[in-house]
Amino acid sequence: MSEVSVTDAAAAAAAPPDALVVLNSVNKHFGALHVLQDIDLTIARGEVVVVIGPSGSGKSTLCRTINRLETTDSGSITIDGRPLPQEGKELARLRADVGMVFQSFNLFAHKTVLENVTLGQVKVRRTDRKAAEKKARDLLDRVGVGAQAEKYPAQLSGGQQQRVAIARALAMEPKLMLFDEPTSALDPEMINEVLEVMQQLARDGMTMVVVTHEMGFARSAANRVVFMADGRIVEEARPDQFFSNPRSDRAKDFLSKIL
Ligand code: ADP
Ligand code: MG
């Protein structure tokens, strides 16, 4: 066996071998508002992390810093051992590696569903159009909207649009998927069809960060719950532990309001 140097050991301790995303003392301000405060978070490959917390606690900002829709003031973020790129082609590739699904569906309104799921593959991944369309159709089938491929987003229900948005992100073969309240804008009867797609993705081993108020999803799909308040990670626990026995007063107070 080879000797492990102190420096290697320190680096390995800082980022376990199965770590996909590592945030180290990340800070972010919006003017005087300290929106992310010394965030340390390591996400393992295949892990599903559900982020919950009161409105304004910094959950969306956290997601947005991970795919560099927001810059940070200090600290480091690495994905697959590499620091986030700052600009250019590298940044476009990062955005493809980190799929993001927002509360609002953000599809291209003037492109068909098929084109929505094909475009990024051709432009960013340089996939041949025919292969990209084949893959788009497979993914649309997988999320249950294969029959809608030739329609425009506005002709689809919210739940269908959100499933297209998931297919579009998956088409880039991301290493990580970020979901920021993906069901919050949906009519109640459409929430489950989106959560089921996410559940399946989790079962298939996708690494996921999910901001959601859907506690049923958190209980059944999350490996870990991260509770944020006022820009800090206040508590982290397995879902069963978090829901049955929250440790912090902030988490107790939050759960008493939503459960
Ligand atoms: P959450 O998603 O947990 O509701 P956000 O990350 O959206 O929280 O916001 C955290 C805080 O940062 C809030 O007080 C919000 O008003 C503020 N904020 C978010 N985005 C901006 C921005 N672009 N400029 C200034 N303040 C912002
Ligand atoms: Mg938010």
197-215 pLDDT tens trace: 999 999 999 999 999 999 9
58 CA to centre of ligand 2 in angstroms: 7
pLDDT at 1 over 70: no
- Closest ligand 1 atom number to CA of residue 63: 6
Question: Taking 90 as the threshold, does the pLDDT of residue 92 lie above it?
Answer: no
How many C-beta atoms surround the C-beta of residue 88 within 10 A? 8
Q: Would you state the pLDDT for residue 259?
A: 77
CA of 226 to the centre of ligand 2 (A): 14
Dist. CA 140 → ligand 1 center (Å): 33
Tell me which of 14 and 94 has the higher pLDDT.
Answer: 94
DSSP summary character for residue 175: S
158-196 pLDDT, tens digit per residue, is 999 999 999 999 999 999 999 999 999 999 999 999 999
Q: Which residues pair with 82 in a beta bridge?
A: 79
Which residue's C-alpha comes closest to atom 15 of ligand 1? 56
Q: Which two tokens stand for residue 63?
A: 């997601």
* Residues around ligand 2, an ion, CB closer than 5 A: 59-60
Q: Reply yes or no on whether the pLDDT at 8 is more than 90.
A: no
CA 154 – ligand 2 centroid, Å: 24
When pLDDT is averaged across residues 11-23 and rounded to a whole number, the result is 76
Average pLDDT value for residue range 246-254: 96
Q: What is the ipTM of this complex?
A: 0.98
pLDDT of amino acid 258: 86
What are the pocket residues of ligand 1 if the criterion is a CB atom closer than 6 Å to any ligand atom?
30, 33, 35, 53, 55-61
Of the listed ligands, the closest to the CA of 29 is: 1
pLDDT band at 17 (very low <50, low <70, confident <90, very high): confident
Q: Are strands 82-83 and 74-79 parallel, antiparallel or unpaired?
A: antiparallel
Predicted confidence at residue 12, as pLDDT, reads 45
Instruction: Please give the C-alpha separations between residue 188 and each of 192, 193, 218, in angstroms, as whole numbers.
Output: 8, 10, 17
- The residue contributing the CA closest to ligand 1 atom 17 is 56
Residue nearest (by alpha carbon) to ligand 1 atom 6: 58
Nearby residues of 129 by Cβ (< 8 Å), 6 or more positions away: 118, 122
Q: Which of 37, 60, 64, 210 to mutate to test the pocket of ligand 1 (most atoms within 8 A of CB)?
A: 60
Residue 14 banded pLDDT, cuts 50, 70, 90: low
Give the Å distance between the CA of 232 and the centre of ligand 2.
14
Mean pLDDT along residues 28-44:
97
- Among the bound ligands, name the one nearest to the CA of residue 62: 1
**Average pLDDT along the chain:** 93
Q: What's the number of CA atoms in the CB half-sphere (13 Å) around residue 98?
A: 25
pLDDT of residue 15: 65
Question: Residue 68: pLDDT band by 50, 70, 90 thresholds?
Answer: very high
**Coil, helix or strand for 152?**
coil
Q: Does 5 score more than 50 pLDDT?
A: no
What is the identity of the amino acid at 218? Answer: A
In one-letter notation, the amino acid at residue 259 is L
Q: Which pLDDT belongs to residue 99?
A: 95
Q: What tens digit of pLDDT does each residue of 132-165 get? A: 999 999 999 999 999 999 999 999 999 999 999 9
pTM value?
A: 0.92
Give the bridge partners for 42, in sequence order.
22
Residue 106's H or E segment, with its range, is none
